[in-house]
Amino acid sequence: MKPKKIIAIMAVTMWGLFLWLVPANAKLITIEIEAEVDFVDDDLGVLEGKINVGDIISGWYTYDTSTPDSGGL
């Protein structure tokens, strides 16, 4: 290989390693959810009548942006 090509490959490799080693700015993200139930299908009675049409359901979910994606895409 020519010396210029070797230097270019080394430069690209070093730049890639630099970007890979830069720490991520991870954050905790919280999503709040509120919804009105408009349909209930509980033929097996698992909900025991505790959730009915017209009920308001609310909750929250917190996740850490540093958690790796496990979705496989």
Give 45-56 pLDDT, tens digit per residue: 999 999 999 999
Segment of 12-16, 22-26, 34-38 carrying the highest mean pLDDT: 34-38
Task: Give the domain ranges of the chain.
Answer: 25-66
pLDDT above 90 (res 68): no
DSSP 8-state symbol, 71: S
Q: 37 versus 3: which is more confidently predicted? A: 37
Confidence at residue 48, expressed as pLDDT on a 0 to 100 scale: 94
Note the pTM of the prediction, 2 decimals. Answer: 0.47
